[in-house]
């Protein structure tokens, strides 16, 4: 599907044949990577941030138009206070030190999820990064932070319920399109390909509604080891598949 009105401008020249327009990535394995090396979890997350840089660069070079990274789920708040602080600090560091490079390469950055939970300093850094890159026409990079797809769907349903209760909407008008319009991804194309690292094979509450017809690619590679070659393998596998959207 094409992006809705209000979405970021498409990459010049469009998406090359066989390349997914939108790729979602569930970045998994930072802690296991660190544990296997006898390192603290914080260094695993730092190595994961390096993998983000490599993957963003590779996605832009391959012609992928939209890249959505699942960086921190709403369930991740259950982790230890120390690890959450480390993740939040790394997020702020990334925003401050990587945003110039993203902007130079015409990447448009957006964040979906409950950003306010990270506190005013991080929220301000996110807002500044989004504002700086808002008019960029290269890769559309979306980072899902404190994001949970079930709560996102429920929030859209609550909005529609209020509209119906107030008499501003006919109940019969509630359909897939109206629910989609009130998701945080409303102006993005649905993902064509979802990648998950570290050998796990589940969505973990990531883009449940949007991934209805996505292709999936799973790899044993832990996220800190993920790079351009892994992304190329996923895209090559995607290109070999026939997408029928339920048509038989």
**Of 23, 19, 41, 25, which Cα lies nearest the Cα of 219?**
25
For 22-150+191-239, CATH gives 3.40.1180.10
Give pLDDT, residue 13: 53
- Structure tokens, 123: 């929220």
Query: Known binding site: residues?
Result: 28-33, 45, 73-75, 77, 79, 196, 202-204, 215
- Structure tokens, 97: 């030190």
Verify whether residue 82 is a known catalytic residue.
no
Give pLDDT, residue 7: 43
Exposure letters 55-71 (e unless 16+ CB within 10 A, then b): bbbbbbebbbbbbbbbb
Give pLDDT, residue 127: 95
Three-class secondary structure of residue 102 per DSSP:
helix
Verify whether residue 116 is a known catalytic residue.
no
**Of 143, 132, 125, which Cα lies nearest the Cα of 49?**
143
Question: Hey, where are the domains in the chain?
Answer: 22-150+191-239
CB neighbours (10 Å) of residue 230? 20
Give pLDDT, residue 118: 87
Per-residue pLDDT 10s for the chain (248 aa) are 333 333 444 444 578 889 999 999 999 999 999 999 999 988 999 999 999 999 999 999 999 999 999 988 888 888 788 878 887 888 888 888 899 999 999 999 999 999 898 889 889 999 999 999 999 999 999 999 999 999 999 999 999 999 999 999 999 999 999 999 999 999 999 999 999 999 999 999 999 999 999 999 999 999 999 999 999 999 999 999 987 776 66
Give pLDDT, residue 76: 80
Contact 187, 18 (CB under 8 A): no
d(CA 55, CA 15): 17
Query: Known binding site for Mg(2+): residues?
Result: 28, 215
Task: For 218, list phi and psi in degrees, rounded to 5.
Answer: -115, 145
Three-class secondary structure of residue 228 per DSSP:
helix
In the numeric block, the tokens 């469009």 are attached to 14
- 3-class SS shares of the chain: helix, strand, coil, % to 5: 45, 15, 40
Query: Known binding site for substrate: residues?
Result: 29-33, 45, 73-75, 77, 79, 196, 202-204
If you compute the radius of gyration of the chain from its CA atoms, what whole number of angstroms results? 18
In the numeric block, the tokens 């939040």 are attached to 88
Q: Which of 76, 105, 187, 225 is catalytic?
A: 76
Instruction: Return all residues near 165 (Cβ < 8 A) that are at least 6 apart.
Output: none
């Amino acid at each position: 599907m094409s992006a809705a009105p209000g979405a970021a401008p498409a990459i010049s020249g469009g998406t090359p044949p066989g390349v997914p327009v939108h790729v979602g990535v569930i970045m998994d394995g930072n802690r296991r990577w660190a544990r296997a090396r006898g390192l603290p979890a914080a260094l695993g997350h730092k190595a994961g941030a390096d993998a983000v840089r490599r993957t963003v660069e590779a996605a832009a070079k391959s012609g992928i138009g939209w890249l959505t990274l699942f960086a921190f789920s709403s369930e991740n708040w259950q982790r230890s206070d120390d690890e959450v602080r480390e993740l939040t600090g790394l997020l702020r560091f990334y925003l401050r030190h990587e945003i110039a490079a993203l902007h130079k390469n015409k990447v448009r950055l957006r964040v979906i999820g409950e950003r306010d939970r990270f506190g005013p300093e991080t929220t301000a850094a996110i807002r500044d990064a989004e504002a700086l890159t808002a008019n960029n026409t290269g890769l559309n990079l979306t980072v899902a932070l404190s994001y949970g797809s079930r709560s996102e769907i429920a929030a859209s349903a609550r909005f529609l319920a209020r509209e119906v209760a107030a008499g501003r909407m006919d109940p019969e008008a509630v359909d897939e399109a109206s629910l989609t319009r009130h998701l945080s991804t409303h102006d993005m194309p649905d993902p064509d390909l979802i990648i998950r690292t570290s050998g796990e094979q589940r969505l973990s509450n990531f883009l449940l509604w949007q991934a209805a017809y996505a292709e999936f690619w799973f790899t044993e590679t832990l996220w800190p080891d993920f790079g351009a070659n892994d992304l190329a393998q996923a895209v090559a596998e995607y290109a070999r598949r026939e997408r029928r959207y339920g048509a038989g």
